Amino acid sequence: MTDIPTLTLNNGVTLPALGLGVFQSAPEETTSAVETALRLGYRHLDTAAAYGNEREVGAGIVASGVPREEIVVETKVWVSDYGRDQTLRAVDKATGKLGLDVIDILILHQPLADHFDRTIAAYQALEEVYAAGRVRAIGVSNFTVAHLDRLAEHTDIVPALNQVELHPHFQQKALQAAHAERGILTQAWSPIGGITFYPGWGEDRQSVMDDPELHTIAADHGASPAQVMLRWHLQQGRSAIPKSTNPDRIRQNITLDLTLSAEELARIDALDAGRRSGPDPDHRDSSALLNRTIPDA
Ligand code: NAP
- Does the beta carbon of 239 sit less than 6 angstroms from any atom of ligand 1? no
Catalytic residue among 42, 51, 82, 123: 51
Cα angle 212-213-216, degrees, rounded to a multiple of 5: 85
Q: Is there a domain that residue 283 lies in?
A: no
Residues 72 and 43: their CA atoms lie apart, in Å, by 6
Q: Which helix (H) or strand (E) holds 105?
A: strand 103-108
pLDDT at residue 202, as a whole number: 72
Q: Is there a domain that residue 266 lies in?
A: no
**pLDDT string in tens for the chain (297-residue length):** 779 999 999 999 999 999 999 999 999 999 999 999 999 999 999 999 999 999 999 999 999 999 999 999 999 999 999 999 999 999 999 999 999 999 999 999 999 988 899 999 999 999 999 999 999 999 999 999 999 999 999 999 999 999 999 999 999 999 999 999 999 999 999 999 999 998 877 777 899 999 999 999 999 999 999 999 999 999 999 999 999 999 999 999 999 999 999 999 999 999 999 999 999 998 877 888 899 999 999
Best substitution site from 23, 186, 276 to test ligand 1's pocket, by max atoms within 8 Å of Cβ?
Answer: 23
- Does the beta carbon of 255 sit less than 6 angstroms from any atom of ligand 1? no
- Does the beta carbon of 139 sit less than 6 angstroms from any atom of ligand 1? no
Question: Is the Cβ–Cβ distance between 48 and 78 less than 8 Å?
Answer: yes
Which domain, by its residues, includes 110?
14-196+237-256
**Would residue 51 show up in a list of annotated catalytic residues for this protein?**
yes
Contacts of 31 (CB under 8 A, 6+ apart): 56, 57, 59, 60, 63
Q: Is there a domain that residue 55 lies in?
A: yes
Ligand 1: residue whose CA is nearest its atom 20:
226
Ligand 1: residue whose CA is nearest its atom 26:
190
Ligand 1: residue whose CA is nearest its atom 35:
189
Distance from the CA of 177 to the center of ligand 1, in angstroms? 24
Distance from the CA of 132 to the center of ligand 1, in angstroms? 33
pLDDT at residue 194, as a whole number: 97
Atom of ligand 1 at shortest distance to CA of 249? Answer: 18
- Does the beta carbon of 19 sit less than 6 angstroms from any atom of ligand 1? no
The pTM score is 0.98
At residue 111, the 3 state secondary structure works out as: coil
- Does the beta carbon of 198 sit less than 6 angstroms from any atom of ligand 1? yes
The CA–CA distances, whole Å, from 165 to 22, 124, 226, 280 equal 15, 24, 16, 10
pLDDT at residue 263, as a whole number: 98
Q: Is there a domain that residue 261 lies in?
A: no
- Does the beta carbon of 189 sit less than 6 angstroms from any atom of ligand 1? yes
Atom of ligand 1 at shortest distance to CA of 110? Answer: 40
Q: Is there a domain that residue 278 lies in?
A: no
- Does the beta carbon of 75 sit less than 6 angstroms from any atom of ligand 1? no
pLDDT at residue 172, as a whole number: 98
Residues 212 and 7: their CA atoms lie apart, in Å, by 31
Q: Is there a domain that residue 106 lies in?
A: yes
Ligand 1: residue whose CA is nearest its atom 37:
189
Ligand 1: residue whose CA is nearest its atom 14:
244
Sheet with 185-189, strands from edge to edge, namely 20-21, 44-46, 72-77, 103-108, 135-141, 161-165, 185-189, 239-240
Q: Is there a domain that residue 120 lies in?
A: yes
Q: How many domains does the chain have?
A: 1
Furthest CA-CA distance within the chain: 54
CATH number at residue 110: 3.20.20.100
Q: Is there a domain that residue 279 lies in?
A: no
pLDDT at residue 251, as a whole number: 98
Distance from the CA of 73 to the center of ligand 1, in angstroms? 17
Residues 258 and 74: their CA atoms lie apart, in Å, by 27
- Does the beta carbon of 243 sit less than 6 angstroms from any atom of ligand 1? yes
